[in-house]
Amino acid sequence: MTKRIAAITFNTFREAVRDRVLYNLIVFAFLMIGSSLLLGQITIGVQRQLLINLGLTAISLFGVLIAIFIGIGLVSKEIDKRTLYTVLTRPVQRWEFILGKFFGLVVTLVVNAGLMTLGFFAALLYLMRGLEHSDVYILEAIYFILLQFMIVTAIALLLSAFSTPIESAVLTFAIFVVGSFSEDLRGFAAAAQGVSHYIAVGMTYLVPNFSALNVISSVAHGNPVAGNVLLLNTAYGLLYAGAVVCGASLIFQNRNLK
Amino acid sequence: MAAIETFALEKTYQVGFWRKKTKVALRPLSFAIPEGEVFGYLGPNGAGKTTTLKLLMGLAAPTGGSCKILGGKIGDPQVRAQIGFLPEQPYFYDHLTPRELLDYFATLSALPATKRSAQIEAVLKRVALQEDAWNTQLRKFSKGMLQRVGLAQAIIHDPKLVILDEPMSGLDPMGRREVRDLIEELNHEGKTILFSTHILSDAEALCDRVAVLNRGELRGVGVVADLIGSVKGNTEIMWQGAAAAHAVEALGFKPHVVGETVRTVVPEQDVDRVMDTLRNQHARLIAVTPMRTTLEDYFLARLASPATGAAPEVAK
């Protein structure tokens, strides 16, 4: 079982690399070099915050876009191209295939984010002529960004198991946007009355809480993330992504291949 | 033990968005393929061949009935480990090379890592894929080369049962010949082969038994020689004497006159009637030649027969 999932994971990763997905790193590199040079002109103190905000937001946005645009095709592309036929007629369970595809994209995103992180720290080092103790907290923010990637990948995978790539892309992106404003949604749910109150409350539980996973602004000001938040967010990310991947497996289990 | 058994296997689809209509892809289908047999699954395009193979391989769920593969269910991974499958017009991960693709499939089929490399080379040689293509990405391959890779992936794990959907598709005459030889070799090794095709000469040359399918309905299944024998053949009669041509035409047959020589083709049962007429007309007989019945004749006869929904002709 483990070997089969690992093989599917590796193949998904290899496909992403050979399809030149990591080329986005070049754009990121230019963005970091350009920002460092530009921010060098601005007052000390603000430039550090700006670079952290810009760098981490770019890491998050690039990753989410990759998660959506590869994630929506993870299953549907294999069905359309019928590459799946020669996989699922082997001793591979359908849930193993789903899990392998999920891990494959997550590994791609982790490697991508890892390389971006190196680039980002290089830019920070160049701009500030050294690192501070509080820069370690940046790694906590990046860890939360990875948890976001995991959830977005799982959602894209779930939608791709039963809808077209365009529908999946639009829906996943919409869920990401709503999830990023989930704190505002909670505020609206508390203020709303009647049916809209119940709908808003339902949505706050259903839509992933990406607000809780966004600590970019906080770490940019040099604030650490509390230990219990780290633990709870990890549990939340794993459980949410796990539940969605289980849902994707269940849907895919009974799907007829055309 | 039968390698494949189907029991009233059936598939219908719902088509249309608002007004859903039921489309019958496969009417209740029952047949068995004993182990060690080469079985041809014949039918025109859209007959339901690929649907049947998808149901057998568990890629689609049947609407009714069931099937047994190697005595078990297709959902059982241990059963699937013993099957090699080539889909129609296969498409593979085009970012991989044949070596990488086969390594991936061998891993999924639980082939031990120690055997993998040697097995991959042996199989690539067996399907006659040129060595300089072994490390080229599949996106640069022609249709025929992809078909060879498809055959290689179907046998990489040394399966007991090999199911091939249109294996000759996209191959040149040389390639078709090689695939025919490969199927024969695999059969000599004791493997059961089920392959679908609409190229009847291939089926006639290779198969122990065939099934004929049309519009989702089984029209006949049996030993090739028996099926051919069941079709009443034609006889070619040639004579000299153009005057007799009119008398033969009056019997309802079309004579072809070239100078004084006349030729006609008549069904077996009408030979005596035509010969009597020629004798009465004092024509000089040149030749009476029974024409060889082919699988194509049987195939066309079964396709032309009306769909009854009743049990098909079965010869064992």
What are A177-195's pLDDT values in tens digits?
999 998 888 888 888 888 8
Assess whether pLDDT exceeds 60 at residue B311.
no
Domain boundaries, chain B: 2-229, 234-290
Which residue in the block uniquely carries the two structure tokens 């100078």?
Answer: B259
Between A200-214, B124-138, B156-170, B285-299, the lowest mean confidence (pLDDT) is in: B285-299
H-state helical runs in A42-135: 46-71, 76-81, 85-88, 94-128
Q: Delimit the domains of chain A by residue range.
A: 2-253
Beta bridge partners of B26: B11
Buried b (16+ CB within 10 A) or exposed e, B84-109: bbbbbebbbbbbbbbbbbbbbbbbbb
Q: How many Å apart are CA A47 and CA A44, to the nearest integer? A: 6
Which candidate from A3, A81, A86 shows the least CB-CB separation from B107?
Answer: A3
Query: Residue A253 pLDDT > 50, yes or no?
Result: yes
For residue B314, pLDDT beyond 60: no
Q: What is the reported pLDDT for B312?
A: 46
Find, among B105, B54, B55, B162, the residue nearest to A82 by Cα: B54
| pLDDT for res A151 | 96
**ipTM exceeding 0.90?**
no
Give the rounded percent of residues in chain A with a pLDDT score beyond 90.
Answer: 41
Instruction: Give the chain A residue nearest B56 (alpha carbons).
Output: A89
Contact between B6 and B23 (Cβ < 8 Å): no
**Among the partner residues A14, A82, A90, nearest to B105 by beta-carbon distance:** A90
| pTM, to two decimals | 0.83
Most A CBs within 10 A among B95, B108, B149, B156, hence the mutation to make, goes to: B108
Task: Return the top range by mean pLDDT from A64-78, A228-242, B165-179, B263-277.
Answer: A228-242
The answer to whether residue A235 scores a pLDDT higher than 60 is yes
**pLDDT given for residue B202 in this prediction:** 83
Cβ within 8 Å, pair B78-A11:
no
Structure confidence by residue, pLDDT tens digits, A154-168: 999 999 888 888 999
Choosing among B70, B93, B151, B166, which should be mutated to test the A contact, i.e. which has the most A CBs within 10 A? Answer: B93
CB contact under 8 A, A91 and B85: no
A195/chain B closest Cα distance in angstroms:
31
pLDDT for B308: 56
Burial level of A174, CB count in 10 A (0-12/13-18/19+)? exposed
CA distances to A217, B39, B126, B141 from B145, in Å: 55, 25, 13, 6
A206 token code pair: 């259903």
Find the mean pLDDT for residues A122-140. Answer: 84
Chain A positions touching B78 (Cβ under 8 A) are 91
Q: Cα–Cα distance between B257 and B280 in angstroms, integer? A: 19
CATH architecture of B234-290: 2-Layer Sandwich (3.30)
Residue in B with minimal Cα distance to A255: B60
What was the pLDDT predicted at A43? 66
Which one-letter amino acid corresponds to residue B163?
I
User: In terms of CATH architecture, what is B2-229?
Assistant: 3-Layer(aba) Sandwich (3.40)
Q: Give the pLDDT confidence of A55-91 residue by residue, as tens digits.
A: 888 899 888 988 998 888 888 888 888 888 999 999 9
Residues of A within an 8 Å Cβ radius of B:
3-4, 7-8, 11, 14-15, 18-19, 81-83, 85-93, 254, 256-257
